[in-house]
Amino acid sequence: MRHTGSTKRRNFLKQIATLGAIVSLAPDTISAIPMLANNNKEGHGYTFLFQGDSITDGNRTRNNDWNHVMGHGYQYIIASKLWFDFPAKGFHFFNRGISGNKVMDLAARWQTDTIVLKPNLLSILVGINDMDALLQGDTNFTAIQYEQTYRLLLKQTKQALPDIQLVLCEPFILPVGKVKERWNEYAEEIEKHRQIVKRLSVEFNAIFVEFQKAFNKALSKAPAEYWIWDGIHPMPAGHELMAGEWMAQVRKKLKFI
């Protein structure tokens, strides 16, 4: 018992050193670090990173505004639930989705927005903007280009972070708005992109989240407009559906959640 004071002092100094490292990070990074974590136990200090386009962006802030730092969507629902259910684990959550991004845009910012953050789990949802660009006539964004760039991103990630758990989410649509007007074209392209993400998930031993299948099933409960307001961006119920499907698949692998 007489060593308690010195032990506390050592722990305090360790915390100060860790805080110093946190302060050196960019504000956008600091905002997603809620507490100091103990990485010695299973799942403790586990870092989740969500990457993608506007569906993941969710109108998030780029500062430390905790009201909006995770955005408003499936990734917010997932983070809030896990933070609530497991406060002792010291989970970290980052959202680096950017509205309008295609897979090539992810590649351009991958080092700073993914590798540097060193996530334990990386969840990616990207592809709808690639498809949309192609259907608008830009032949630089074919399914082949999508697969090639996506594969390079995953190789780069595994080389830098060999123990990372990948979660690959397939892009999805429902027949609403402009998607309904060109349904056959959108349906053909979404199927190509779904198969690409499925292949990559097998190739890189990733968890595969079949969002399209989940939305298709949900049509038995309510019409397409109830789940996705413009054929691409989910309604609140759609984000809840996504969060539930994501959790169901990830929990099969991560037993500590």
pLDDT of residue 238: 98
Q: What is the pLDDT of residues 102-142, one digit of tens each?
A: 999 999 999 999 999 999 999 999 999 999 999 999 999 99
pLDDT of residue 127: 98
Is pLDDT above 80 for 251?
A: yes
What is the domain partition of the chain in residue ranges?
1-26, 31-250
Q: What is the pLDDT of residues 160-211, one digit of tens each?
A: 999 999 999 999 999 999 999 999 999 999 999 999 999 999 999 999 999 9
pLDDT of residue 66: 87
Q: Which CATH architecture has domain 31-250?
A: 3-Layer(aba) Sandwich (3.40)
- Amino acid letter at 34? P
pTM: 0.85
Mean of per-residue pLDDT scores for the chain? 88
Burial of 197: CB neighbours in 10 Å, binned 0-12, 13-18, 19+: buried
More reliable by pLDDT, 65 or 17 = 65
pLDDT of residue 2: 41
Is pLDDT above 60 for 31?
A: no
For the chain, what percent of residues have pLDDT higher than 70? 84
Burial of 235: CB neighbours in 10 Å, binned 0-12, 13-18, 19+: middle
For residue 23, how many other CB atoms are within 10 A of its CB? 8
